Amino acid sequence: MGIFIISNRHITTVKGKEQFSNDSKQNALPTFRVAECKVSADNKKITYDIIKDIEDPDYNKIYAALNDKTKIKELGGTEYMFYDLYKTMSNDTKPNSDVLFFIHGFATSHEDELQHILKLKELYIDSDSPIENLIYLSWPTSNSYALTYWSDKEDSIVTGQTLARIYVKMNKFFYTMFKKYEQDNCKQKIHIMAHSMGNQVLKQMMGNLNEKYIVPFIGEIILAHADVSSNSFENEQPLTKLHKLGQRTHIYIHKSDDALTISTTTKNFSKRLGKAGPSNVKELSQSTFIVDVTGVKYDKRKRTGFLSGLKDNLIDHWGYMTSTQQVNDIIAILKGEDERRVKNRMRHDIYTNYFYLSSANIVDKI
């Protein structure tokens, strides 16, 4: 199992050790650092070590390290992360050793991020899931929901540009390993999940990618309670390219998402994708699906220590952590189950790409 943080937060030094800053007033950097995480045996504590920075990574060194021609300690940044993940995914005895690349939303401090990672591990790694590895994209937001929205939105744009560069590096790693050196494909998958304004980060990434780099080596793409416009899949906007990147895209929406109601009425003045759903359901690609979770139960609420204060009152915005039904639905998708046969789903009576979880008994027409 490997857990890594990629962050464009500022770096601070505490007792001689580098750490990511928890200062909410600092903006996103155009550069990033990589950290490797360790979780205690009781899953209650997480620590990390920031890996030495490499200005110009050389992925030929990964091939050399795999063949004992380069010492592992000579690898830095993405060199070490890609090496570790590839080795884990190739040698793991489990039938599945997939990677989940997670992008958090706004109003998330660095301290929140660490607790968030523990919760994601509990739900998507320690469970009956194909996920064995986690890459967590950490970007500077505040833990104040109401006061920092626009600052966080600006940082999401910078972070999306940074994420595009990370994606290009991953693309170059794939080329080096599988084209140049003809290494065996580990047959595991990399999935992406973006929550809330994390979808704005993903949108910016797609908008900053050259078309030649948009190739289908991502497995499932999960857009959870997305705080982007409901017209984000119209008129060749960046997210319309997701079907070229991944096998499938699932958009999870909640018609009563209070956080997105606030975003609509006080911040953006436009319908949000994670509440209203896509404005052009009929025109979505054949690999893009909607899952309406308006009626699910939030039975995991009291066991989710990451949520506190206002976040706890906006519980329907966090269904990927607080609802067993939604978590199980996402895991089924990560396993590659046929979207039409996922347990407890009910298909819309008009749109074949629109599903409800079974507890949502009222079918609203779009």
Q: Give the Cα separation of 284 and 263 in Å (integer).
A: 24
Supply the pLDDT for residue 248: 98
Residue 298 pLDDT > 60: yes
Alpha helices in the chain (DSSP H): 60-66, 77-91, 110-124, 149-174, 198-208, 242-245, 258-262, 273-276, 310-313, 319-322, 324-334
Once rounded to an integer, what is the mean pLDDT over residues 39-47? 96
Per the CB < 8 A criterion, the answer to whether 52 and 79 are in contact is no
Per the CB < 8 A criterion, the answer to whether 72 and 83 are in contact is yes
Supply the pLDDT for residue 186: 86
DSSP 154-189: HHHHHHHHHHHHHHHHHHHHHIIIIIIS-PPP----
Residue 301 pLDDT > 80: no
Q: Which one, of 35, 40, 85, lies nearest residue 62 by Cα?
A: 85
Once rounded to an integer, what is the mean pLDDT over residues 62-70? 96
Token pair recorded at residue 87: 């080795």
Supply the pLDDT for residue 66: 95
Q: Give the Cα separation of 219 and 191 in Å (integer).
A: 5
Write the pLDDT tens digit of every residue in 79-98: 999 999 999 998 766 778 99
Q: What are phi and psi of 99, to 5 degrees?
A: -110, 135
Once rounded to an integer, what is the mean pLDDT over residues 259-280? 82
Write the pLDDT tens digit of every residue in 198-256: 999 999 999 999 999 999 999 999 999 999 999 999 988 999 999 999 999 999 999 99
Supply the pLDDT for residue 155: 86
Quick check: helix, strand or coil at residue 5?
Answer: strand
Supply the pLDDT for residue 266: 59
Place 261 in a pLDDT band, splitting at 50, 70 and 90. confident
Instruction: Parse the chain into domains and list their residue ranges.
Output: 2-357
Per the CB < 8 A criterion, the answer to whether 120 and 100 are in contact is yes
Supply the pLDDT for residue 359: 64
Write the pLDDT tens digit of every residue in 121-163: 999 999 999 999 999 999 998 655 555 555 567 888 999 999 9
Name the amino acid, one letter, at 306.
Answer: F
Looking at the chain, the whole-number percentage of residues with pLDDT higher than 70 is 89
Range in 102-116, 220-234, 301-315, 322-336 with the lowest mean pLDDT: 301-315
Supply the pLDDT for residue 55: 85
DSSP 230-287: TTTTSTT-GGGGHHHHEEEEEEEE-TT-HHHHHIIIIII-S-BHHHH--TTGGGS-TT
The dihedral through the CA atoms of 154, 160, 166, 168 has a sign that is: negative
Residue 365 pLDDT > 50: no
Q: Give the Cα separation of 190 and 89 in Å (integer).
A: 10
Supply the pLDDT for residue 331: 98
Supply the pLDDT for residue 292: 97
Look up the pTM and report it.
Answer: 0.93
CATH value of 2-357 in 1.20.1250.20, 3.30.565.10, 3.40.50.1820, 3.30.70.100 = 3.40.50.1820
What's the Rg (C-alpha) of the chain? 20
Per the CB < 8 A criterion, the answer to whether 242 and 205 are in contact is no
